[in-house]
Copies of this chain bind each other. A is one copy, B any other.
Amino acid sequence: MTSHGRLAGVIPPLCTPLTPDGRVDETSLDRLVDHLIEGGVHGLFVLGTTGEVSGLTDAQRELVVAATVARAAGRLPVLAGAIDTGTDRVVDQARRAAAAGADAVVVTAPFYAATHPEEIRRHFAEVAARVDVPVVAYDIPSKVGTKLSPDTVIELATEGAIVAVKDSSGSDVSLRALLSRRSARGLDLSIFTGSELTVDYAIGLGCDGVVPGLGNVDPAGYRLLFDLARAGKVEQARAEQDRLFELFRITTVADRAQRSATSAALGAFKAALVDLGVIAGATLARPGVPLDEAERAEVCALIAEFGPRIGAIVGVGTIGSGSEEPAGQ
């Protein structure tokens, strides 16, 4: 549905590397893009929650999209979050992202003001009508306060307003309802799970892909997991998911008395990427509080124990060959 075809596969939500004074670190971003592509991912999603979109200025957002698109150089689709409070603001964000080269935009329900299902439906329909690239619906009630109902998603897909949905709601009932209704109606809608700890299950169930924050740290692991799950190798997929489950413990080492859950998780991803030599520093967008020395040492220890499948990339390559790239179907 994008110029790359139907969206599918592993599409990690990129961290946004920052310099100590809070500017976008383009060199590190380039390395992160390379790291992910080498890990075998099928697409890149910038300016998501993991990308600290809510802390980046419009200028920074444009820079992130443009730099990522340039580095990806057409090798895989680049999705960009157009995350803002109201319809007209989202249209502005989406147009800027498209102008900077994004292949699709990722849009949540409106937030800050209270919303109603009919207002949510109008929101997506209006954005889709006024933006030139495909729209992906992003269901993330923990951030926006409202769940996208399966009814609304199916209606929007039927009207052609969205080409995909990323379900970060954590509701397995809702996910199952989406899959079941897609089948019943024969809809051409890509369904992604945002739950990085149940990928084996979600893919087995019929999801097209996953948007794993932890995929920044271990893209090859998620690629392997995706390939195994898709191939129906249930036991092997579960073993890989179990390893990634343990690796995910990096997100909870930070002291929550000092910072938010967001800072604890994103700070850990960045600390891990520094440890792996991918990015230069672990600065968070303001007002986030990064991990301290001791906490970063704990992250490194967990990486050493459960760590990224760096050397395993070749092996992964044999499972899913280039011509079968899900995101380019």
Which residues of A come within 8 Å of B, CB atoms?
A: 22, 49, 52-58, 60, 83, 85-89, 92, 110-116, 118-120, 122-123, 126, 143-145, 170-173, 176-177, 180, 195, 197-198, 201, 204-205, 232, 234, 238, 242, 245-246, 256, 258-263, 285-289
Q: Are B197 and A57 in contact (CB under 8 A)?
A: no
Tell which of B111, B286, B289 touches A111, judged by Cβ atoms closer than 8 Å.
B111
Asked if A83 meets B57 with Cβ closer than 8 Å, knowing A171-B170, A205-B238, A245-B180, the reply is no
**In the complex this chain forms, how many copies of it are found?**
4
Asked if A286 meets B123 with Cβ closer than 8 Å, knowing A89-B55, A145-B145, A201-B205, the reply is yes
Q: Are B114 and A245 in contact (CB under 8 A)?
A: no
Asked if A56 meets B198 with Cβ closer than 8 Å, knowing A126-B287, A260-B113, the reply is no
Q: Are B176 and A118 in contact (CB under 8 A)?
A: no
Tell which of B88, B172, B180, B246 touches A195, judged by Cβ atoms closer than 8 Å.
B172
Closest B residue to A126 by CB, please name it: B286
Closest B residue to A91 by CB, please name it: B57
Closest B residue to A59 by CB, please name it: B92
Q: Are A262 and B87 in contact (CB under 8 A)?
A: no
Closest B residue to A197 by CB, please name it: B173
Q: Are A87 and B198 in contact (CB under 8 A)?
A: no
Tell which of B53, B113, B118, B234 touches A262, judged by Cβ atoms closer than 8 Å.
B113
Chain B nearest Cβ from A230, distance in angstroms: 13
Q: Are B118 and A289 in contact (CB under 8 A)?
A: yes
Chain B nearest Cβ from A122, distance in angstroms: 4
> Which B residues lie within 8 Å of A171 (CB)?
170
Bound-state CA distance A144–B85 (Å) is 11
27 contacts between A and B (CB under 8 A): A52-B113, A54-B86, A54-B89, A55-B89, A55-B110, A57-B88, A83-B112, A87-B286, A88-B285, A88-B286, A111-B111, A112-B143, A113-B288, A114-B261, A116-B258, A116-B260, A116-B263, A118-B259, A118-B289, A119-B288, A122-B286, A122-B289, A123-B287, A126-B286, A170-B172, A172-B198, A172-B201
